[in-house]
Structure 1
């Protein structure tokens, strides 16, 4: 059967009578995290060789052997398969045709919608398929809150919004940054926007902000330097596109407020989260250059950039560099025409 996000969380905490959990999708970090959650629900000690067996993609012939092995110390067994392909379909089908209480957890991030393995799991009453795709927007913010709540840590709304805007599409990287915040705040602590900035000021997301602010202000040299630093730090092109899009939308909201009669200062103050004081000059420069219509055009081009970067084989790094250069070039042209 196929599970939605709400059902998935419950099943991962308590698999019940399920015999197979298949985790697939683009977010490999989320795939691994959910696999670990499901495994711990059945076998609290993942280092116990009598209850937990880990197989790789090249060992489909061992699946049946491990599924029907006895737990010498008692308790339900877990067979954890990593990087699975459709080669696992036939042995898994054979296992499902026989009685067993072993839970098979399969990590298969590369499966397509037409995969035979997905078809088998989605059509079986004792198996569940869970899609693991990158979170964004409110879903990402909810996950961050949940991770921090586990340590009884609260985070201010503007801090949460700013922090979520910096994160890329990989769950493992997100959890790493959240753990850094938790260590900074301490159990039971409270995180403000200044706290979050102080804690992750060296993160790749700051390079993204540097690139976005410099490009829209017409500082080509600074924009090029910032985007190269972000890419060198491992930031994904999709995260770059999303960061740029968020920045352009914030600029457009402020520009529309100015067009309706607000002063530039008041329009910037009204944004949530507020513009960081060290970036108000660059943000103000961009507001003086760009019209609301031009910002909308730039946002649409940035959305196209994200779609292009998702295409298999696309030169995504080159596309990002070129897009930043175009934004900076447009801002420089607007400055000359003033």
Structure 2
């Protein structure tokens, strides 16, 4: 069964009773873990239950495929259903699960925690095509309404609310990984103490670490066509541990916003009106640069930049060249395009 991203939360809360073998995959590994834990909570009162909770590693399953059926059919000493997690699931498990799904045993819930499996993944295809007990669902980085819900839900749990500027800042600096986002918001809640209204100053002081600022500087330098600043900030970004694919995805998100704003302008809105319609809103410190970019980038070159980013991400995953080199070249190409006069 194929579960779309939009229906994933509903599925996790109330999976069909006949579905007991679930592949959770995607680039947001924090969300993969969170959803796996939520499914476990439907089966067990305690995820650390030594009798009913089992964690297996993908290499162990590949080496001994029979372990799937053995664990699924095993009877609990204390009664109740068993919950089996298989970590780092990948295409190497396809043959083992093809055999298991053809002849499933037991009533245990089996959850496979996978990485960013492409549509060509044999494991993903196997689970999506199964019509009996299996399902596959994706976990993509939070953005838009989903991210707003995560931020509001986490803050409200601590009796907090965020003003408009703080919310805009949080939405621009969180979202690539659900677990990281929640961790940053929990840190913010502790920082707030007895105060209940999160302001821009609070958000920057707590969530705005140096890595986030370095990443912002890289994005702005590339889109502004500032080669000298781009080279310096990109090196710093890599030194701070920012991954090339994360940098590319943040840049893609920025150009997507430029594309949306230019679309609003083509419908007759001026620059300020077009920027005001963006959600999440552009934070005030970035607004002057963003406005300048709207004046210098046309839709054709914005689309070209997005193609460069998409190509670079694919090369990072499949090419023999270092991802840092691929990302640097892509950003330099975009910076050069920013300097071309229309």
TM-score under structure 2 length normalisation? 0.75
CA RMSD of aligned residues (A): 3.9
Indicate which of 185, 191, 196 corresponds to 2:198: 191
User: What residue in structure 1 maps to residue 113 of structure 2?
Assistant: 107
- Asked whether the equivalents of residues 30 and 171 of structure 1 are also in contact (C-alpha less than 8 Å), the reply is yes
Matches within 5 A, 1:239-254: 239-244=246-251, 249=257
Indicate which of 253, 259, 275 corresponds to 2:284: 275
User: What residue in structure 2 maps to residue 72 of structure 1?
Assistant: 77
- Asked whether the equivalents of residues 167 and 205 of structure 1 are also in contact (C-alpha less than 8 Å), the reply is no
Matches within 5 A, 1:115-130: 115=122, 118-120=125-127, 122-130=129-137
Deviation of residue 129 (structure 1)? 1.9
User: What residue in structure 2 maps to residue 87 of structure 1?
Assistant: 95
User: What residue in structure 2 maps to residue 33 of structure 1?
Assistant: 34
Pair 1:81–1:186, CA change in 2 (3 A): farther
- Asked whether the equivalents of residues 12 and 41 of structure 1 are also in contact (C-alpha less than 8 Å), the reply is no
Q: Distance in 2 between matches of 1:310 and 1:217?
A: 21
Q: Does residue 325 of structure 2 align to residue 321 of structure 1?
A: no
Q: Does residue 307 of structure 2 align to residue 304 of structure 1?
A: yes
Pair 1:175–1:266, CA change in 2 (3 A): closer
User: What residue in structure 2 maps to residue 131 of structure 1?
Assistant: 138
Q: Distance in 2 between matches of 1:13 and 1:183?
A: 29
Can you give the 5+ residue segments of structure 1 that lack an aligned partner in the other structure?
A: none
Query: What per-residue deviation string (whole Å, max 9, x for no partner) do you get for residues 152-207 of structure 1?
Result: 43333433333222346333333333333333345993322222111122142211
- Asked whether the equivalents of residues 19 and 103 of structure 1 are also in contact (C-alpha less than 8 Å), the reply is yes
Q: Which secondary structure does the structure 1 equivalent of 2:184 belong to? A: helix
Q: Distance in 2 between matches of 1:46 and 1:169?
A: 26
TM-score under structure 1 length normalisation? 0.76
Can you give the 5+ residue segments of structure 2 that lack an aligned partner in the other structure?
A: none
User: What residue in structure 2 maps to residue 294 of structure 1?
Assistant: 297
- Asked whether the equivalents of residues 165 and 246 of structure 1 are also in contact (C-alpha less than 8 Å), the reply is no
Pair 1:5–1:253, CA change in 2 (3 A): closer
Q: Distance in 1 between matches of 2:130 and 2:327?
A: 41
The structure having more radius of gyration, on CA atoms, is 1
Matches within 5 A, 1:165-176: 165-167=172-174, 169-176=176-183
Q: Distance in 2 between matches of 1:261 and 1:165?
A: 23
Q: Does residue 3 of structure 2 align to residue 3 of structure 1?
A: yes
- Asked whether the equivalents of residues 40 and 47 of structure 2 are also in contact (C-alpha less than 8 Å), the reply is yes
Q: Which secondary structure does the structure 1 equivalent of 2:297 belong to? A: helix
User: What residue in structure 2 maps to residue 158 of structure 1?
Assistant: 165
Q: Does residue 18 of structure 2 align to residue 13 of structure 1?
A: no
Q: Which secondary structure does the structure 2 equivalent of 1:82 belong to? A: strand
Q: Distance in 2 between matches of 1:74 and 1:232?
A: 51
Q: Which secondary structure does the structure 1 equivalent of 2:309 belong to? A: helix
